[in-house]
Amino acid sequence: MDKATAGGLVSGIILLLLAIFIAPGSSFSAFIDIPSAAVVVGGAIAACFIAFPGAAMLLFPKVLKKVFFPKQPELAPVISQIVEFAEIARRDGILALEAKTEEIEDPFILLGVQMAVDGTDVDLMEQILRTEMEAVAGRHKNGKSLMDTVGRYAPAFGMIGTLMGLIIMLGNMDDPEAIGPGMAVALITTLYGALVSNLFFLPFADKLAYYSKQEFQVREVIIKGLIAIQEGDNPRVIEQKLNTFLPADQRVSKDGQAA
């Protein structure tokens, strides 16, 4: 689990609850209103179904899971693996990498190594790998768009709920005692919309964008490394090229370990 995501979410909720409990005269029950929650959450989800096809909405749970349980490859081990492949190709020939394909867990690296072993032209190899990257980028963009859409529509439905509450309240102006509670309930939907947007889904979208950026940095390193292997570059030169993607204190040494 991404501890930063979970920790930030829990901290935000706790701080809001503390603000409610320590505020003079406040009541936790005053902040609970099921119809308001239904308007905000239900309305935002309904808007997503209008904005996206059903197949995309079926991916919503998977995208949400990725916010908390990302599968992010680390850059230093990937560089070490690429340098190891370069040393094997340099010492035993590039065909020797075929014996390593069963040990490769990353499908992107596996695709590149298989093309290298098959003797694929360097330009064609790079084109195929970058096309694969573009396809992944499209899927990442769709997932982020789902989170962005909920975050964008939730405040709007909060305002819609507030207007509905005001209309109901104004229809009962003959009862002065109901005006105050009615106004409070009307404003709760605005609060719910702001919370759903700014504590949950917009930060979720930003986290997905961060993960996507990190993943594509790793894939860029993989492409550069595999192409260098295919072109027959010296393993030490490849190592130096790929190390430029890492901070100085994390760079891979010539024995394949982090410095």
Q: Is the pLDDT of residue 79 over 80?
A: yes
Banded pLDDT at 43 (limits 50, 70, 90): very high
* Structural domain includes residue 94: no
* Structural domain includes residue 23: no
Q: Which residues of 57-67 are buried (b: 16+ CB within 10 A; e: fewer)?
A: eeebeebbebb
Q: What is the pLDDT of residue 22?
A: 87
What does the pLDDT average to over 116-134? 92
* Structural domain includes residue 21: no
Which range of residues forms the domain containing residue 64?
A: 32-71+128-235
Q: Is the pLDDT of residue 259 over 60?
A: no
Q: Is the pLDDT of residue 238 over 70?
A: yes
Q: Is the pLDDT of residue 13 over 80?
A: yes
Residues 94 and 230 sit within 8 Å (Cβ to Cβ): yes
Q: Is the pLDDT of residue 256 over 60?
A: no
Helix, strand counts (H, E) of the chain: 11, 0
Residues 6+ apart with CB under 8 A from 69: 1, 2
Tens-place pLDDT, residues 140-151:
999 999 999 999
Q: Is the pLDDT of residue 41 over 50?
A: yes
CA–CA gap between residue 125 and residue 148 (Å, rounded)? 34
* Structural domain includes residue 78: no
* Structural domain includes residue 253: no
Backbone angles phi, psi at 258, to 5 degrees: -65, 140
Q: What is the pLDDT of residue 209?
A: 94
Q: Is the pLDDT of residue 254 over 60?
A: no
The count of domains in the chain is 1
Q: What is the pLDDT of residue 174?
A: 74
Q: What is the pLDDT of residue 204?
A: 95
* Structural domain includes residue 14: no
Which residue, among 156, 151, 167, has the nearest Cα to 189 in the 3D structure? 156
Q: Could you tell me the sign of the dihedral formed by the alpha carbons of 183, 9, 43, 152, in that order? A: positive
Q: What is the pLDDT of residue 212?
A: 92
Banded pLDDT at 178 (limits 50, 70, 90): low
Q: Which residues of 117-154 are buried (b: 16+ CB within 10 A; e: fewer)?
A: beebeeeebbeebeebbeeeeeebeebbbbbbbbbbbb
CA–CA gap between residue 99 and residue 32 (Å, rounded)? 61
* Structural domain includes residue 6: no
SS3 (DSSP) at 252 = strand
* Structural domain includes residue 85: no
Tens-place pLDDT, residues 152-176:
999 999 999 898 888 877 777 777 7
